[in-house]
Amino acid sequence: MTITKEQVLQALGHVEEPDLKKDLVTLNMIQDIHIEGNRVSFSVILTTPACPLKAMIENACRNAILHFISKDAEININMTSRVTTQKNTGVPGVKNIIAVASGKGGVGKSTVSVNLALGLAKTGAKVGLIDADIYGPSIPIMFGLEGERPKASEVDGKTRIQPIEKYGIKLLSIGFFTDPNQPVPWRGPMVSTAVKQLFNDADWGELDYLVVDLPPGTGDIHITVTQTFPVTGAVIVTTPQNVALADAKKGIGMFMMNAINVPILGIIENMAYFTPAELPENKYYIFGQGGGKKLASQLDVPFLAEIPLVKSISDSGDAGKPIVLDDGSIMANAFIEVAQKVAQQVAICNANAINNTTLVNN
Protein backbone atom coordinates (compact mmCIF):
# COMPACT_ATOMS: atom_id res chain seq x y z
CA MET A 1 0.00 0.00 0.00
CA THR A 2 1.31 3.49 -0.80
CA ILE A 3 0.61 6.23 1.64
CA THR A 4 -0.38 9.58 0.15
CA LYS A 5 -0.05 13.16 1.41
CA GLU A 6 -3.82 13.49 1.31
CA GLN A 7 -4.19 10.52 3.65
CA VAL A 8 -1.72 12.08 6.07
CA LEU A 9 -3.58 15.40 6.03
CA GLN A 10 -6.89 13.64 6.43
CA ALA A 11 -5.61 11.63 9.41
CA LEU A 12 -4.08 14.70 11.09
CA GLY A 13 -7.33 16.56 10.44
CA HIS A 14 -8.69 14.43 13.29
CA VAL A 15 -6.17 15.86 15.77
CA GLU A 16 -7.51 18.85 17.66
CA GLU A 17 -5.33 21.56 19.21
CA PRO A 18 -6.86 21.36 22.71
CA ASP A 19 -6.57 25.10 23.45
CA LEU A 20 -7.56 26.45 20.07
CA LYS A 21 -10.34 23.89 19.56
CA LYS A 22 -9.62 23.37 15.88
CA ASP A 23 -7.73 20.63 14.07
CA LEU A 24 -4.03 20.97 13.24
CA VAL A 25 -4.57 20.99 9.47
CA THR A 26 -7.16 23.78 9.62
CA LEU A 27 -4.82 25.74 11.85
CA ASN A 28 -2.05 25.36 9.26
CA MET A 29 0.19 23.69 11.83
CA ILE A 30 1.28 20.74 9.64
CA GLN A 31 4.12 21.28 7.18
CA ASP A 32 6.89 19.47 5.26
CA ILE A 33 5.13 16.15 4.75
CA HIS A 34 7.45 13.52 3.24
CA ILE A 35 6.52 9.95 2.45
CA GLU A 36 8.82 7.11 1.48
CA GLY A 37 7.24 3.67 1.44
CA ASN A 38 5.70 3.28 4.89
CA ARG A 39 7.87 6.03 6.35
CA VAL A 40 5.98 9.26 7.06
CA SER A 41 7.62 12.42 8.31
CA PHE A 42 6.20 15.89 8.92
CA SER A 43 6.62 19.01 11.05
CA VAL A 44 4.13 20.29 13.59
CA ILE A 45 4.43 24.07 13.98
CA LEU A 46 3.31 24.90 17.52
CA THR A 47 2.26 28.40 18.52
CA THR A 48 5.06 28.68 21.10
CA PRO A 49 8.18 26.69 22.00
CA ALA A 50 6.84 26.81 25.57
CA CYS A 51 3.76 24.78 24.59
CA PRO A 52 2.83 22.63 27.61
CA LEU A 53 0.82 20.30 25.34
CA LYS A 54 3.76 19.43 23.07
CA ALA A 55 4.06 15.75 24.10
CA MET A 56 0.31 15.28 24.04
CA ILE A 57 -0.05 16.72 20.52
CA GLU A 58 2.89 14.65 19.22
CA ASN A 59 1.32 11.51 20.63
CA ALA A 60 -2.08 12.32 19.14
CA CYS A 61 -0.50 12.83 15.68
CA ARG A 62 1.31 9.50 15.90
CA ASN A 63 -1.85 7.69 16.95
CA ALA A 64 -3.89 9.32 14.17
CA ILE A 65 -1.47 8.05 11.48
CA LEU A 66 -1.38 4.55 13.00
CA HIS A 67 -5.13 4.42 13.39
CA PHE A 68 -6.38 6.05 10.20
CA ILE A 69 -3.64 4.99 7.74
CA SER A 70 -1.54 2.02 8.78
CA LYS A 71 -0.42 0.45 12.01
CA ASP A 72 2.87 -0.38 10.26
CA ALA A 73 3.73 3.24 9.44
CA GLU A 74 7.10 4.46 10.65
CA ILE A 75 6.52 7.98 11.88
CA ASN A 76 9.00 10.77 12.33
CA ILE A 77 7.59 14.02 13.74
CA ASN A 78 9.56 17.24 13.96
CA MET A 79 7.97 19.32 16.74
CA THR A 80 8.86 22.94 16.12
CA SER A 81 7.26 26.35 16.68
CA ARG A 82 6.66 29.81 15.36
CA VAL A 83 5.33 32.19 18.00
CA THR A 84 2.07 33.77 16.90
CA THR A 85 1.24 37.45 16.94
CA GLN A 86 -1.98 39.28 16.24
CA LYS A 87 -1.15 42.86 15.54
CA ASN A 88 1.69 45.26 15.21
CA THR A 89 2.90 45.76 18.77
CA GLY A 90 4.19 49.21 17.93
CA VAL A 91 7.74 47.99 18.49
CA PRO A 92 9.15 46.62 15.22
CA GLY A 93 10.18 42.96 15.44
CA VAL A 94 8.36 42.34 18.73
CA LYS A 95 5.55 39.79 18.43
CA ASN A 96 3.97 39.95 21.90
CA ILE A 97 4.11 42.34 24.84
CA ILE A 98 3.30 40.82 28.24
CA ALA A 99 2.70 43.27 31.11
CA VAL A 100 3.24 42.05 34.68
CA ALA A 101 1.21 44.08 37.17
CA SER A 102 -0.34 44.03 40.63
CA GLY A 103 -2.45 46.40 42.64
CA LYS A 104 -0.33 46.30 45.79
CA GLY A 105 3.41 46.81 46.00
CA GLY A 106 5.92 44.22 47.11
CA VAL A 107 3.88 41.18 46.10
CA GLY A 108 6.52 39.79 43.73
CA LYS A 109 5.95 41.41 40.31
CA SER A 110 9.64 41.81 39.64
CA THR A 111 10.39 38.28 40.84
CA VAL A 112 7.67 36.89 38.56
CA SER A 113 8.71 39.10 35.58
CA VAL A 114 12.33 38.03 35.76
CA ASN A 115 11.66 34.32 36.22
CA LEU A 116 8.91 34.39 33.59
CA ALA A 117 11.18 36.08 31.02
CA LEU A 118 14.06 33.67 31.69
CA GLY A 119 11.65 30.70 31.79
CA LEU A 120 10.30 31.61 28.33
CA ALA A 121 13.86 31.93 27.04
CA LYS A 122 14.75 28.51 28.45
CA THR A 123 12.04 26.91 26.31
CA GLY A 124 13.72 28.42 23.25
CA ALA A 125 11.83 31.69 22.77
CA LYS A 126 13.49 35.04 21.98
CA VAL A 127 12.78 37.25 24.97
CA GLY A 128 13.23 40.83 26.13
CA LEU A 129 12.51 42.37 29.52
CA ILE A 130 11.72 45.99 30.38
CA ASP A 131 11.81 47.23 33.96
CA ALA A 132 9.33 50.10 33.77
CA ASP A 133 9.32 50.79 37.50
CA ILE A 134 10.68 54.33 37.43
CA TYR A 135 10.44 54.81 41.18
CA GLY A 136 11.81 51.45 42.31
CA PRO A 137 13.66 49.64 39.52
CA SER A 138 14.85 46.28 40.82
CA ILE A 139 15.95 44.40 37.72
CA PRO A 140 19.58 45.64 37.77
CA ILE A 141 20.05 43.98 41.19
CA MET A 142 18.18 40.82 40.21
CA PHE A 143 20.54 40.36 37.24
CA GLY A 144 23.70 41.46 39.04
CA LEU A 145 23.97 44.45 36.71
CA GLU A 146 24.13 47.39 39.10
CA GLY A 147 26.04 50.31 37.72
CA GLU A 148 25.82 49.02 34.11
CA ARG A 149 25.16 51.56 31.39
CA PRO A 150 23.69 50.32 28.09
CA LYS A 151 25.64 51.46 25.03
CA ALA A 152 24.19 53.49 22.21
CA SER A 153 24.85 52.66 18.58
CA GLU A 154 23.81 53.76 15.10
CA VAL A 155 21.22 51.50 13.47
CA ASP A 156 19.91 52.60 10.05
CA GLY A 157 21.06 56.15 10.66
CA LYS A 158 19.33 56.41 14.06
CA THR A 159 20.93 56.32 17.49
CA ARG A 160 19.62 53.30 19.37
CA ILE A 161 20.10 52.06 22.91
CA GLN A 162 21.53 48.53 22.96
CA PRO A 163 19.69 46.41 25.55
CA ILE A 164 22.01 44.54 27.87
CA GLU A 165 22.14 40.78 27.25
CA LYS A 166 22.37 38.39 30.16
CA TYR A 167 21.32 34.77 30.73
CA GLY A 168 20.02 34.62 27.15
CA ILE A 169 17.61 37.56 27.22
CA LYS A 170 17.82 41.26 26.35
CA LEU A 171 16.94 43.73 29.06
CA LEU A 172 16.60 47.39 29.84
CA SER A 173 15.76 49.06 33.13
CA ILE A 174 15.07 52.66 33.87
CA GLY A 175 17.53 51.95 36.70
CA PHE A 176 20.40 51.83 34.18
CA PHE A 177 19.87 55.54 33.53
CA THR A 178 19.28 56.88 37.04
CA ASP A 179 21.42 57.16 40.16
CA PRO A 180 20.41 54.28 42.47
CA ASN A 181 21.12 56.45 45.54
CA GLN A 182 18.92 59.35 44.48
CA PRO A 183 15.13 59.49 44.27
CA VAL A 184 13.71 60.25 40.81
CA PRO A 185 11.79 63.53 41.13
CA TRP A 186 10.03 63.30 37.76
CA ARG A 187 6.61 64.55 36.87
CA GLY A 188 4.10 62.46 34.88
CA PRO A 189 5.08 63.61 31.37
CA MET A 190 8.79 62.98 31.99
CA VAL A 191 7.99 59.51 33.26
CA SER A 192 5.90 58.78 30.16
CA THR A 193 8.65 59.94 27.84
CA ALA A 194 11.29 57.87 29.64
CA VAL A 195 9.17 54.72 29.53
CA LYS A 196 8.32 55.14 25.85
CA GLN A 197 12.02 55.49 25.08
CA LEU A 198 12.71 52.08 26.61
CA PHE A 199 10.41 50.59 23.97
CA ASN A 200 10.98 52.87 20.99
CA ASP A 201 14.59 53.95 21.16
CA ALA A 202 16.11 50.54 21.86
CA ASP A 203 17.37 48.03 19.34
CA TRP A 204 15.30 45.03 20.47
CA GLY A 205 15.73 43.06 17.24
CA GLU A 206 13.36 40.13 16.78
CA LEU A 207 11.52 39.08 19.95
CA ASP A 208 8.79 36.53 20.56
CA TYR A 209 7.93 38.02 23.94
CA LEU A 210 8.73 41.35 25.57
CA VAL A 211 7.93 41.14 29.30
CA VAL A 212 7.26 44.45 31.06
CA ASP A 213 7.65 44.73 34.84
CA LEU A 214 5.28 47.52 35.88
CA PRO A 215 5.31 49.52 39.10
CA PRO A 216 2.58 48.79 41.69
CA GLY A 217 -0.85 50.39 41.34
CA THR A 218 -2.63 51.85 38.35
CA GLY A 219 -0.75 55.05 37.53
CA ASP A 220 0.83 57.05 34.71
CA ILE A 221 3.15 54.29 33.58
CA HIS A 222 0.32 51.78 33.15
CA ILE A 223 -1.67 54.24 31.11
CA THR A 224 1.34 55.20 28.99
CA VAL A 225 2.31 51.59 28.24
CA THR A 226 -1.19 50.30 27.54
CA GLN A 227 -2.24 53.28 25.44
CA THR A 228 0.98 53.60 23.44
CA PHE A 229 1.59 49.92 22.71
CA PRO A 230 -0.95 47.19 21.97
CA VAL A 231 -0.13 44.99 24.95
CA THR A 232 -1.01 41.35 24.20
CA GLY A 233 -2.07 40.65 27.78
CA ALA A 234 -1.42 41.24 31.46
CA VAL A 235 -0.31 38.82 34.18
CA ILE A 236 -1.59 39.89 37.61
CA VAL A 237 0.45 39.01 40.69
CA THR A 238 -1.13 38.95 44.13
CA THR A 239 -0.42 37.54 47.57
CA PRO A 240 -3.13 35.73 49.56
CA GLN A 241 -3.99 38.56 51.99
CA ASN A 242 -7.35 40.29 51.53
CA VAL A 243 -5.68 43.69 51.13
CA ALA A 244 -3.58 42.38 48.23
CA LEU A 245 -6.54 40.60 46.62
CA ALA A 246 -8.67 43.76 46.81
CA ASP A 247 -5.90 45.72 45.09
CA ALA A 248 -5.40 42.99 42.49
CA LYS A 249 -9.10 43.28 41.67
CA LYS A 250 -8.67 47.02 41.10
CA GLY A 251 -5.62 46.35 38.91
CA ILE A 252 -7.59 43.86 36.82
CA GLY A 253 -10.46 46.35 36.62
CA MET A 254 -8.09 48.90 35.11
CA PHE A 255 -6.94 46.54 32.34
CA MET A 256 -10.55 45.62 31.60
CA MET A 257 -11.72 49.24 31.26
CA ASN A 258 -12.96 50.09 27.77
CA ALA A 259 -10.33 52.74 27.22
CA ILE A 260 -7.53 50.28 28.05
CA ASN A 261 -8.94 46.89 27.12
CA VAL A 262 -5.95 44.60 27.71
CA PRO A 263 -6.80 40.88 28.09
CA ILE A 264 -5.91 39.28 31.43
CA LEU A 265 -3.62 36.31 30.78
CA GLY A 266 -4.16 35.16 34.35
CA ILE A 267 -3.55 35.56 38.07
CA ILE A 268 -0.48 34.28 39.90
CA GLU A 269 -0.70 33.91 43.66
CA ASN A 270 2.79 34.50 45.02
CA MET A 271 3.88 33.66 48.57
CA ALA A 272 0.80 31.40 48.57
CA TYR A 273 2.19 29.25 51.38
CA PHE A 274 5.41 28.85 53.31
CA THR A 275 7.59 25.81 52.70
CA PRO A 276 10.70 25.20 54.82
CA ALA A 277 13.63 24.04 52.67
CA GLU A 278 14.17 20.96 54.83
CA LEU A 279 10.49 19.90 54.70
CA PRO A 280 9.37 20.77 51.15
CA GLU A 281 6.20 18.68 51.39
CA ASN A 282 4.92 20.76 54.33
CA LYS A 283 2.77 23.71 53.28
CA TYR A 284 1.79 26.42 55.76
CA TYR A 285 -0.89 28.78 54.47
CA ILE A 286 0.16 31.61 56.74
CA PHE A 287 -1.63 34.38 54.83
CA GLY A 288 -4.85 32.45 54.07
CA GLN A 289 -5.67 29.91 51.40
CA GLY A 290 -7.34 29.92 47.99
CA GLY A 291 -7.93 33.69 47.63
CA GLY A 292 -6.19 34.01 44.25
CA LYS A 293 -8.08 31.08 42.81
CA LYS A 294 -11.38 32.47 44.08
CA LEU A 295 -10.67 35.89 42.59
CA ALA A 296 -9.81 34.29 39.24
CA SER A 297 -13.07 32.37 39.14
CA GLN A 298 -15.06 35.45 40.26
CA LEU A 299 -13.61 37.52 37.43
CA ASP A 300 -13.57 34.61 34.99
CA VAL A 301 -9.85 34.85 34.22
CA PRO A 302 -7.32 31.98 34.25
CA PHE A 303 -5.58 31.05 37.50
CA LEU A 304 -1.98 30.34 36.53
CA ALA A 305 -0.03 29.27 39.61
CA GLU A 306 0.54 29.23 43.34
CA ILE A 307 4.15 30.07 44.10
CA PRO A 308 5.34 29.31 47.64
CA LEU A 309 7.26 31.62 49.92
CA VAL A 310 10.74 30.11 49.91
CA LYS A 311 13.99 31.67 50.97
CA SER A 312 15.84 30.57 47.84
CA ILE A 313 13.59 32.76 45.65
CA SER A 314 14.50 35.86 47.58
CA ASP A 315 18.18 34.89 48.02
CA SER A 316 18.64 34.21 44.31
CA GLY A 317 17.04 37.55 43.40
CA ASP A 318 19.39 39.37 45.74
CA ALA A 319 22.37 37.40 44.40
CA GLY A 320 21.71 38.43 40.78
CA LYS A 321 20.93 34.91 39.55
CA PRO A 322 17.16 34.26 39.45
CA ILE A 323 15.91 30.92 40.75
CA VAL A 324 14.66 29.64 37.37
CA LEU A 325 18.31 29.31 36.33
CA ASP A 326 18.86 26.73 39.08
CA ASP A 327 18.34 23.83 36.64
CA GLY A 328 16.18 20.96 37.83
CA SER A 329 15.28 22.53 41.19
CA ILE A 330 11.63 22.42 42.30
CA MET A 331 11.29 26.20 42.07
CA ALA A 332 12.97 26.39 38.64
CA ASN A 333 10.51 23.81 37.33
CA ALA A 334 7.63 25.71 38.92
CA PHE A 335 8.62 28.91 37.07
CA ILE A 336 9.08 27.02 33.77
CA GLU A 337 5.51 25.83 34.24
CA VAL A 338 4.42 29.44 34.84
CA ALA A 339 6.17 30.44 31.59
CA GLN A 340 4.42 27.63 29.69
CA LYS A 341 1.03 28.65 31.03
CA VAL A 342 1.56 32.31 30.16
CA ALA A 343 2.75 31.40 26.63
CA GLN A 344 -0.31 29.18 26.26
CA GLN A 345 -2.62 32.06 27.22
CA VAL A 346 -0.83 34.39 24.78
CA ALA A 347 -1.40 31.85 21.99
CA ILE A 348 -5.08 31.57 22.94
CA CYS A 349 -5.49 35.37 22.99
CA ASN A 350 -3.81 35.64 19.60
CA ALA A 351 -6.01 32.95 18.10
CA ASN A 352 -9.17 34.54 19.55
CA ALA A 353 -8.19 37.99 18.32
CA ILE A 354 -7.46 36.84 14.82
CA ASN A 355 -10.73 34.92 14.86
CA ASN A 356 -9.66 33.24 11.68
CA THR A 357 -9.07 29.69 10.61
CA THR A 358 -5.33 30.02 10.20
CA LEU A 359 -2.89 31.65 12.58
CA VAL A 360 -0.54 34.41 11.59
CA ASN A 361 2.65 32.41 11.45
CA ASN A 362 5.27 34.86 10.29
Ligand X SMILES: Nc1ncnc2c1ncn2[C@@H]1O[C@H](COP(=O)(O)OP(=O)(O)OP(=O)(O)O)[C@@H](O)[C@H]1O
Beta bridge partners of 235: 100, 266
Closest among 45, 33, 47, 46 to 76, alpha carbons compared: 33
* Residue among 216 and 291 whose Cβ is closer to ligand X: 216
Closest among 136, 142, 130 to 183, alpha carbons compared: 136
- By the 8 A CB rule, do 265 and 302 touch? yes
Near ligand X by CB under 6 A: residue from 109, 170, 222, 341? 109
DSSP state of 214: P
Near ligand X by CB under 6 A: residue from 105, 144, 168, 288? 105
- By the 8 A CB rule, do 98 and 235 touch? yes
Q: Which stretch binds Mg ion (CB under 5 A): 6-14, 50-58, 105-113, 227-235?
A: 105-113
Rounded Cα gap, residues 351 and 343, in angstroms? 12
* Residue among 85 and 138 whose Cβ is closer to Mg ion: 138
Rounded Cα gap, residues 101 and 110, in angstroms? 9
Residue 317 binds which one of Mg ion, ligand X, none, with CB within 5 to 8 A depending on kind?
ligand X
What x-and-dash track marks residues 170-209 binding ligand X by CB under 6 A? ----------------------------------------
What does the chain come to in residues? 362
Q: Is 110 in the site for Mg ion (CB under 5 A)?
A: yes
- By the 8 A CB rule, do 163 and 202 touch? yes
238: amino acid identity, one letter: T
Q: Which stretch binds ligand X (CB under 6 A): 36-44, 69-77, 104-112, 166-174?
A: 104-112
Least distance between ligand X and beta carbon 298 (Å): 22
Q: Is 310 in the site for ligand X (CB under 6 A)?
A: yes
* Residue among 77 and 184 whose Cβ is closer to ligand X: 184
Near ligand X by CB under 6 A: residue from 47, 81, 115, 138? 138
* Residue among 191 and 309 whose Cβ is closer to ligand X: 309
Strand pairing report for 74-81 and 39-46: parallel
Residue 60 binds which one of ligand X, Mg ion, none, with CB within 5 to 8 A depending on kind?
none
DSSP state of 317: H
Residues that bind ligand X (CB under 6 A): 102, 105-111, 133, 136, 138, 216, 270-271, 307, 309-310, 313-314, 317
